[in-house]
Amino acid sequence: MQAFVLSGYGGPEHTALTEVPRPSPRASELLVRVHAAGLNPVDFKTRAGALKIIRNYPLPIVMGNELSGVVEAVGAGVTRFAKNDRVFARVDKNYMGAFAEFAVVDEDHAARMPASLDFTTAAAVPLAALTALQALRDELHVSAGQRVFIPGGAGGVGTFAIQLAKHMGAHVATTASSRGEALVKRLGAEVVIDYTRERFEDNLAGYDCAFDLLGGDTLARVWSVLKPGGRVVSIAGVPEPVTARKDLGRGSGLAALFWVASLQTRLRAARHHCSYRYLFMHPSGADLAYLASLIDAKQLEVVVDRVFPFAEAKEAMAYLEAGHAKGKVVLSL
């Protein structure tokens, strides 16, 4: 089968469409004929070797972290899916493999595709929407009437996060350039700060929590937006000790490293009487089924910026890496 393979850490020259053997499903896995696969920043970060401290993949490896497609075969222990089911999934982080004609997915990581979506739109959902749901529901515990700040709302995660926070009954402020302003307003953001012209901390105060999608300077400045007791969850800043234990299942060595890396951020949080958590999302078929129900009920819109043919996987990755996607970028197989 054809697959988009990473053969060395570094630039795009280490990736290519290559002929590889078709994977075989283990007992708990589905073999999926992939119809479409979503791209995410984790793809180019993995290629660059930026995440090697967390996951050092043996190379070569088939890239790709989320997909939609049709079940071709099931492992002996699979109980909830059958051949010809239309499914979507965020695939196992230890193996990737979504940028290929066939991929294996653990049945616990898969869900039936929303009936109202085509394959390319469905492939845009799993990673970004699961991230937004798990951050807002499980870490920030967003509830009705709360004020939530989501810096960076126009991209893959942000377009889901704005809508999910609204669905939870929150008031939402976000940042976007003029290129994304109309989109984030349509998705429900009440307050939009143009980050190219204004500093958000000059305009916002008294927020209950922030879901930081940008890290860096944004994370350094977010604290004054929050009220005392406020909570920040970041998916782009610095990991902290809980990340190592809870999200990665790792021991005290990595926790200690993350303790040092996050010290400045945690001190800033403490000075403002706030808390800080860095989240790595996890695959979940149950959460994905819930998101599918929201999509079919027209309560969650999937925003796709561009669809590239599989032959242009490298161009698709370069487009996402430029950092201005509005919603999601998808490969069509």
Judged by beta carbon, residue 30 or residue 127, the one nearer ligand NAP is 127
Judged by beta carbon, residue 1 or residue 255, the one nearer ligand NAP is 255
Q: How far is the CB of 237 from ligand NAP (least distance, A)?
A: 9
Judged by beta carbon, residue 151 or residue 230, the one nearer ligand NAP is 151
Which residues of this chain interact with ligand NAP, rule CB under 6 A?
A: 40-42, 45, 127-128, 131, 151-152, 154-158, 175-177, 179-180, 195, 213-214, 235-236, 279-281, 320, 323-326
Q: How far is the CB of 242 from ligand NAP (least distance, A)?
A: 13
Q: How far is the CB of 282 from ligand NAP (least distance, A)?
A: 8
Q: How far is the CB of 21 from ligand NAP (least distance, A)?
A: 30
CA 117 to chain centre: 19
Judged by beta carbon, residue 4 or residue 278, the one nearer ligand NAP is 278
Q: How far is the CB of 62 from ligand NAP (least distance, A)?
A: 20
Please identify the residue of the shown chain whose CB is closest to the bound ligand NAP.
155
Q: How far is the CB of 290 from ligand NAP (least distance, A)?
A: 18
Judged by beta carbon, residue 26 or residue 179, the one nearer ligand NAP is 179
Judged by beta carbon, residue 81 or residue 120, the one nearer ligand NAP is 120
